[in-house]
Structure 1
Amino acid sequence: MDSVTFQHILVARDRIAGKIAATPVAASVTLSERLDVPVYLKLEHRQTTGSFKLRGASNAIAWLDAEDRKRGVVAASTGNHGRALSFAARLEGMRAVICMSRLVPANKVEEIRRLGAEIRIVGNSQDDAQVEVERLAAEEGLVMVPPFDHPAVIAGQGTLGLEIASAVADVETVLVPLSGGGLAAGIAAAVKGTRPHAKVIGISMQRGAAMKASLDAGRPVQVEEMPTLADSLGGGIGLDNRLTFSMCRDLLDDVVLLSEAEIAAGITHAYSQEREIVEGAGAVGIAALLAGKVRPRGPVVLVLSGRNIDMGLHRDIVCGKEELAA
């Protein structure tokens, strides 16, 4: 498969119906007044496992045949994919092994452990964790379920785009957190499948934005993975990337990068003005608007992708106690 199509996403919607929540879309009064255009928040952080990742993980599990289900699944994760895959696997009585680097926050690791998955902490990057994934697949026969570069995962994430297009029929711009590209590619394929002229913009952090660096280079490249408030957006896209690089290249209208202070401002606004607790990756759409880095001319939807932030860190950020490097 060279790409994930609108039709694949429609099939995924039917396949995972009842296994995921169709999350609300809410108008933001404060942001709408500030930008003088309608601004809507796709509240995907209210998803069952606290992030959009459950869509792709559920679709990937449903895709497996009986023999693969007996073998169990393995994946590298910055936290949210591992939590989602562990949850989806537990529902089917399957073994799940999640490999993570030392940069993954402890609260995300503990939640994955609570869901019954086996945990491997390996190295200082998602690329290091992926080496362990490949070893386990080769030696123990586990089925790899990548966090983004997999057709069933992309199609599952794309169901979020169908919900956006249904809720805001005249949407002009969608701001999507961008990491490995599964969410951005899926949403872009879904939104443009119903509204071809809508713009889909990927939002990432300045610290180690692998997809942005790869798009600039015209090919997948490696970047140094660095600590960031948007920890869910960390990690590479894979030098042998099969799907998300080309889909993001072809479907995204722009990519915007944010400083740590701008991400913190997004988290703070979500809490103080919208009454929503979101992690750094989930706040990047808000942050991009507050920083003036995106200036939409019509209705805009921001994807609040996850809420799985350490609450001590969240408290420090909203109280202005978190020290941020430039």
Structure 2
Amino acid sequence: MIEFSAIRDARDRIADHVLSAPLVASPSLSEIAGVSVHLKLEHYQPTGSFKLRGAFNSMLQLTEAERSRGVITVSTGNHGRALSYAARALGSHATICMSRLVPENKVLEIRRLGADVHIVGSSQDEAQQEVDRLVAEKQLVMVPPFDDQDVIAGQGTVGLEILDAMPDVATVLVPVSGGGLVAGVAAAVKNKRPNAKVIGITMERGAAMKASLACGRPLQVEELPSLADALGGGIGLDNKLTFAMCQALVDDVVLLSESEIAAGIRHAYEKEREIVEGAGAVGIAALLARKVTGFSGPVAIVLSGRNIDMDLHRHIINGMVPT
């Protein structure tokens, strides 16, 4: 577990570097759910996803000597972009290792921010091996994408902002991959609202956290292409924090088909006037698919990112779902 005070401290630390994203009402989703539904617009962050919070909270706690050595991470795209942005802002340099499954638009944005990019293998686990090699060879400082107390605390500030805007929140729907966001949000929300439900949402294809929770231990699963590409990757067989936090704090993890994720993307665009990527749309998609029901009070849905290839977005809006 991480202390609630660490999340509070993270909010103060990153305040000048990230957006306090709006929490806005959704009349269309409120009508479907039968309760007030609000959307937490994390895709408004400068790098297009919530990941900037954890990246800055980690970078700001490094020493000058550590920053001068450079930082490195493994990423499915959004954490790499966030770390590249934070490193450049703080006078450091980032190296980002990714698999071939990461969409090209995300790779290009990371390169645009000046990071060194290494594309290795067909899974996040294979890309992590390249991280380990470069850490040993070049003494770079690793900033993990999720299983790290500073990263989790940074992502947990999303939960604090939801509580500030909606003190009576009863349910929070959060995208889940490695678990940094959902663990941080759950730690923040349940500290103040212990009876509130925090539900993780992910895709059917390669849902590592769901499989691990069902088994009772971290598992390695096959990483598969998905519209929710940012939710790909494993949780690490040596997971130290997020698995246990999800076991203790997350009420359920819901799986979505590719067509359900596409429906979430379309709804976000047509009804909410928001462009979100697959991972950012899963909360909306779960509500539309009636995979979360029986709400006892106000609902907050985290829209985690917008970094979708726009050609793909147009295809989805026009009713086509890639297989």
Instruction: Calculate the TM-score normalised by the size of structure 2.
Output: 0.99
| CA drift at 1:298 | 1.4
Matched, 1:23 2:21: yes
Name the CA distance, whole Å, in 2 between partners of 1:73 and 1:163.
Answer: 28
Name the CA distance, whole Å, in 2 between partners of 1:20 and 1:32.
Answer: 28
Q: Unaligned regions of 5+ residues in structure 2, if any?
A: none
| CA drift at 1:194 | 1.4
Q: 1:64 aligns with which of 62, 67, 70?
A: 62
Name the CA distance, whole Å, in 2 between partners of 1:292 and 1:68.
Answer: 47
Name the CA distance, whole Å, in 1 between partners of 2:64 and 2:32.
Answer: 52
* Partner SS state of residue 120, structure 1: strand
* Partner SS state of residue 31, structure 1: helix
| CA drift at 1:115 | 0.2
**What's 1:84 paired with?**
82
Name the CA distance, whole Å, in 1 between partners of 2:199 and 2:34.
Answer: 19
Matched, 1:316 2:311: no
- The aligned amino acid for 2:299 is V
Q: 1:9 aligns with which of 7, 10, 32?
A: 7
Matched, 1:122 2:114: no
Name the CA distance, whole Å, in 2 between partners of 1:27 and 1:190.
Answer: 21
8 Å Cα contact 1:313-1:322 kept in structure 2:
no
* Partner SS state of residue 111, structure 1: helix
| CA drift at 1:211 | 0.5
**What's 2:273 paired with?**
275
Q: 1:258 aligns with which of 256, 259, 268?
A: 256
| CA drift at 1:95 | 1.4
| CA drift at 1:34 | 1.5
**What's 1:231 paired with?**
229
Counterparts of 1:1-326 in structure 2 under 5 Å? Answer: 3-295=1-293, 296-324=295-323
- CA deviation string 1:119-138 (max 9, x = no partner): 00000000010000000000
Over the matched positions of the two proteins, sequence identity in percent amounts to: 69
* Partner SS state of residue 63, structure 1: coil
Name the CA distance, whole Å, in 1 between partners of 2:198 and 2:321.
Answer: 31
| CA drift at 1:92 | 1.2
* Partner SS state of residue 201, structure 2: strand
- The aligned amino acid for 1:318 is I
Name the CA distance, whole Å, in 1 between partners of 2:199 and 2:65.
Answer: 39
Name the CA distance, whole Å, in 2 between partners of 1:106 and 1:69.
Answer: 28
Name the CA distance, whole Å, in 1 between partners of 2:20 and 2:48.
Answer: 13
Name the CA distance, whole Å, in 2 between partners of 1:236 and 1:5.
Answer: 25
8 Å Cα contact 1:165-1:191 kept in structure 2:
yes
Name the CA distance, whole Å, in 2 between partners of 1:204 and 1:321.
Answer: 20
| CA drift at 1:297 | 2.5
- CA deviation string 1:39-86 (max 9, x = no partner): 000011111110000000000001111221111100000000000000
Name the CA distance, whole Å, in 2 between partners of 1:73 and 1:4.
Answer: 23
Name the CA distance, whole Å, in 2 between partners of 1:277 and 1:71.
Answer: 37
Name the CA distance, whole Å, in 1 between partners of 2:15 and 2:232.
Answer: 29
- The aligned amino acid for 1:317 is I
- The aligned amino acid for 1:61 is M
| CA drift at 1:195 | 1.1
Name the CA distance, whole Å, in 1 between partners of 2:6 and 2:96.
Answer: 27
Report how many aligned residue pairs link the two structures.
Answer: 322
8 Å Cα contact 2:182-2:246 kept in structure 1:
yes
| CA drift at 1:94 | 0.7
* Partner SS state of residue 161, structure 2: helix
- The aligned amino acid for 2:305 is G
Name the CA distance, whole Å, in 2 between partners of 1:278 and 1:235.
Answer: 20
Q: Unaligned regions of 5+ residues in structure 1, if any?
A: none
* Partner SS state of residue 254, structure 2: strand
- CA deviation string 1:261-284 (max 9, x = no partner): 000000000000000000000000
Deviating above 6 A after TM superposition, structure 1's stretches of 4 or more consecutive aligned residues are none
Name the CA distance, whole Å, in 1 between partners of 2:46 and 2:4.
Answer: 24
Name the CA distance, whole Å, in 2 between partners of 1:222 and 1:315.
Answer: 33
Instruction: Calculate the TM-score normalised by the size of structure 1.
Output: 0.98
8 Å Cα contact 2:22-2:41 kept in structure 1:
yes
- The aligned amino acid for 1:316 is H
